[in-house]
Amino acid sequence: MNNWTYDEFKHCGVDYADPEQAEIYDSRHQKFRNDEQEFAGFLSRMPFEHHQELTLLDMGCGTGAAAIHASKHFRMIYAVDVSEAMLQQARRKAEREQRSNIEFIHSGFLSYEHRAEPVDIVSTKVALHHLPDFWKQIALMRMNAMLKMGGILYLHDVIFHFRPAEYQRKIDRFIAGFEAHAGKLFKAEVETHIRDEFSTFDWIMEGMMARAGFEVVSIHPSDGFVMEYFCRKAEEISIPYF
């Protein structure tokens, strides 16, 4: 890595490298998320048959919920995260469920070196927003290089899809909704996300994906904030990523 490369191992916003934060991550997020339901929706929209033959790279795997669900359907899962504390939680869960087809790797969007064959699917959920936009673009190009031609990039994240002039009202309503579902502590976490992390607008994200060689297949928005993108690798991008 060059001296000018963004340090993806330093935290922005909530510090998920903190073992205490990693330990309470699942219990907090289960107040407003259903991991099994989210994965079922993801799987139903996948444009592939014979899932058991496919490989998936999970970038920003966190405590491993999506990777563990995926391991029950796909041949091999590579699960990558910059937080060793989160990976420890994920490994324990995988061991409890006796999942042997997951490789957990302590690395990130800008540092992970994929030495195996290109994968069929790259999935990243609520993780890419930890990078500023310039480095999101680099991360997307690197993920392109790890995918087979025609492979799928799945992106699920906080991506603003409202008119910029509406930001005050939309963000206040978004935060209030989280407080109603998950309490004041999570309200503070969402405020930290908006203030200190790097979520961006949909038109910026879609431009970056196009420049990284991806074609958008389908978009599934909700509430002006959370977006799901299914994209197909349409072009090889020449970028060194080792």
Structure tokens at 29: 């997020």
pLDDT tens digits, one per residue of 22-73: 677 766 666 567 788 888 888 888 888 778 899 999 999 999 999 999 999 9
Q: Which helix (H) or strand (E) holds 24?
A: helix 19-29
- Please give the angle made by the CA atoms of 101, 107 and 113, to the nearest 5 degrees: 80
3-state helix vs strand vs coil in the chain, percent to 5: 45, 20, 35
pLDDT band at 2 (very low <50, low <70, confident <90, very high): confident
pLDDT tens digits, one per residue of 152-189: 999 999 999 999 999 999 999 999 988 887 778 778 88
CATH fold of 19-233 reads: Rossmann fold (3.40.50)
Give dist(CA 13, CA 60) in Å, integer: 15
Enumerate the domain spans of the chain: 19-233
Q: What is the mean pLDDT of residues 3-20?
A: 86
- Give the model's pLDDT for residue 28: 67
Structure tokens at 49: 């048959």
Sign of the Cα torsion 19, 179, 128, 6 reads negative
- Give 165-169's long-range contacts (Cβ < 8 A, gap of 24+): none
pLDDT tens digits, one per residue of 193-240: 999 999 999 999 999 999 999 999 999 988 779 999 999 999 998 776
- Alpha carbon separation from 217 to 48, 81, 95, 231 (Å, rounded): 13, 26, 35, 5
